[in-house]
Amino acid sequence: MAQNGGIILLLCATFSVLAMVGAEDPYRFFEWNVTYGDIYPLGVRQQGILINGQFPGPDIYSVTNDNLIINVHNSLPEPFLISWNGVQQRRNSFEDGVYGTTCPIPPGKNFTYILQVKDQIGSFFYFPSLAFHKAAGGFGGIRILSRPRIPVPFPDPAGDYTILIGDWYTHNHNTLKAILDRGRRLPFPDGILINGRGANAASFTVERGKTYRLRISNVGLQNSLNFRIQGHKMTLVEVEGTHTLQTSYSSLDVHVGQSYSVLVTADQAAKDYYIAVSSRFTEKVLTSSAVLHYSNSVSPVSGPLPGGPTTQIDYSLNQARSIRTNLTASGPRPNPQGSYHYGLINITRTIKLGNTAGQVNGKQRYAVNSVSFIPADTPLKLADYFKIGGVFRIGSIPDQPSGKKMYLDTSVMGADFRAFVEIVFENRESIIQSWHLDGYSFWVVGMNGGVWTPASRNQYNLRDAVSRCTTQVYPKSWTAVYIALDNVGMWNLRTEFWARQYLGQQFYLRVYSPVGSIRDEYPIPKNALLCGRAAGRKTRSL
């Protein structure tokens, strides 16, 4: 149905820039034109970022191991980049589309991303990573289906819907960016959008008796959102590429940057039902709604919106802990997800990351272990590749909170290829955090209130924790994750709270192998844009 956006599926490998992708796997070609256009999501006219005229942008449909060739034409009057939240870009951080890895596409120019959704399944999204473009749109869903012979642990749904939810400002994104550039905090958002639309404007049609998959991603700027459907239960089946134990929920907390798949059976009387989305852990609660429409519906939505959870952190924490991997289900490969025993591997390093808010030179900033990230004049990955000195320093962020006063730096943490790392996110602030790592998924082994100590490891789930790419950290709480560093590259570790990311709560993890083999990392793509101090260098041709 939504196979729009100029997709051509080919089974050949003659396109000249494709040297390093899996040549035996299918290709999907996309031509995207990024423009500004008028949108009215909350009833007032705004300047939105459209992809091929659409807001939100077109969904990317793919199957495990597909090569995605996405030619992005930047028709904005300013530089632009797209990043792929949760797509791992194995051996290929050059294509990650954040400013630490990839040069911005200049206005009027184009750049062809060459991605492979290698060994992945699941629900993700893409978004514009530069400036404060994310507040104007430019995002869309990504789905990676299992290959035909690999069993999926539930019957084929009758329909499969992308539902992008997120908080939203009626301010222009340049106005928001200017507020941040002046060192001020953003005001509270104005509303919540569901697939780019305000109250009851988005509708999802179902046939009575059938079961549907909903892929819900929080593409917003900061708020955790609760998702629920009047009169219907949801069965959770997938979280960012992991098939979960199929558990029934009446509402689901989706933190900013996260993606979930649920199954919903249209098993109620034939009418229309509210889908409600509301902000969590906020004093003022924003709420919006969409419509679950039975095809033979005899009446429109009615009654009050279904209420959200009334308890705050405990409900959410208990729900998070109840989300487990189905160890016997297949993931992207036919072997069961439980065949990799992450809980038996010895940790080679523990990294503790503490987030703080503060001021530097009288301006609002945010930091990780006291370092507030500032971009360099050259993408770090390119500086690394061309061995251009003076752009960044490995070790410019410590492994532990230092208690030092906040300072600015282009923070890069070094890490060894094949290390098995424990990261403890320590949140001493009184607001919830959401952390994301590009290039990887990690096992969320534990979370709890208070301060993490080594004894906290006794509470870890070392058996069936979910492997995902974005995790929440509750207020004055910690979350611990395990990561197998099996993907060489320069990877962005960031908050998904977008104003905080913009003002420094991020850094890059440089996963390094001294071997320098293309088995571990692809060379720079031939079409790579070169900027900053990398301008004019030669990309090696293969």
Ligand X SMILES: *[C@@H]1O[C@H](CO)[C@@H](O)[C@H](O)[C@H]1NC(C)=O
Residues 264/229, Cβ–Cβ less than 8 Å:
yes
47 counts as binding ligand X under rule CB under 6 A: no
Which residue in 172, 246, 282, 513 binds ligand X (CB under 6 A)?
A: 246
Positions in 449-508 near ligand X (CB under 6 A): none
Other residues' Cβ atoms within 10 Å of the Cβ of residue 405: 10
Tokens of 80: 């632009």
Q: Is 443 in the site for ligand X (CB under 6 A)?
A: no
Residue with tokens 């792929």: 84
33 binds ligand X (CB under 6 A): yes
| Sole window of 106-114, 299-307, 312-320, 467-475 interacting with ligand X (rule: CB under 6 A) | 106-114
Residue that the structure tokens 């999501």 belong to: 41
Query: What are the backbone angles phi and psi of residue 147, rounded to the nearest 5°?
Result: -65, 155
Question: Which is nearer to ligand X, 48 or 198 (by Cβ)?
Answer: 48
In the bound complex, what is the minimum distance in angstroms from residue 376's beta carbon to ligand X? 22
Binds ligand X by CB under 6 A, chosen from 93, 222, 279, 326: 326
Alpha-carbon distance values, 358 to 398, 405, 407 (Å) = 18, 9, 10
Closest CA to 105 of 141, 142, 133: 133
What is the distance in angstroms between the CA of the first residue and the CA of the last residue of the chain?
A: 39
In the set 527, 530, 532, 537, which binds ligand X (CB under 6 A)? 527
Residue 489 in contact with residue 438, Cβ under 8 Å? no
User: Which listed residue (295, 299, 312, 328) binds ligand X by CB under 6 A?
Assistant: 328
In the complex, minimum distance from the CB of residue 242 to ligand X, in angstroms, rounded to a whole number: 12
Report which DSSP code applies to 137.
Answer: B
Beta strands in 119-197 (DSSP E): 122-128, 140-145, 159-168, 191-194
DSSP letter at 334 equals: S
- Choose the binding region for ligand X from 128-136, 338-346, 360-368, 459-467 (rule: CB under 6 A): 338-346
* For ligand X, the closer CB: 178 or 535: 535
Least distance from ligand X to the Cβ atom of residue 243, Å: 7
Among 311, 346, 430, 541, binds ligand X (CB under 6 A): 346
SS3 string, 196-219, reads: CECCCCCEEEECCCCEEEEEEEEC
Residues 6+ apart with CB under 8 A from 158: 206, 207, 210, 211, 212
Q: Which one among 70, 81, 329, 382 touches ligand X, defined by CB under 6 A?
A: 329
Q: Output 270 or 530, the one with its CB closest to ligand X.
A: 530
Nearer to ligand X, 188 or 460 (CB): 460
Question: In the bound complex, what is the minimum distance in angstroms from residue 486's beta carbon to ligand X?
Answer: 16
Q: How many CB atoms lie within 10 A of CB 40?
A: 14
Compute the least distance from the CB of residue 33 to ligand X, in Å: 4
Q: Quick one: which of 22, 106, 153, 338 contacts ligand X (CB under 6 A)?
A: 153
| Closer by beta carbon to ligand X, 19 or else 245 | 245
Within residues 357-386, the interface with ligand X by CB under 6 A covers none
Nearer to ligand X (CB atom), residue 35 or residue 282: 35
Is the distance from CB of 27 to CB of 12 less than 8 angstroms?
yes
Structure tokens at 403: 């208690």
Over the window 108 to 137, marking each residue x when it contacts ligand X by CB under 6 A and - when it does not, the resulting string is --xxx-------------------------
Contact assessment for residue 448 and residue 405, using Cβ atoms and an 8 Å cutoff: no
Q: Which residues bind ligand X (CB under 6 A)?
A: 33, 35, 71, 73, 75, 110-112, 153, 245-246, 326, 328-329, 344-346, 527
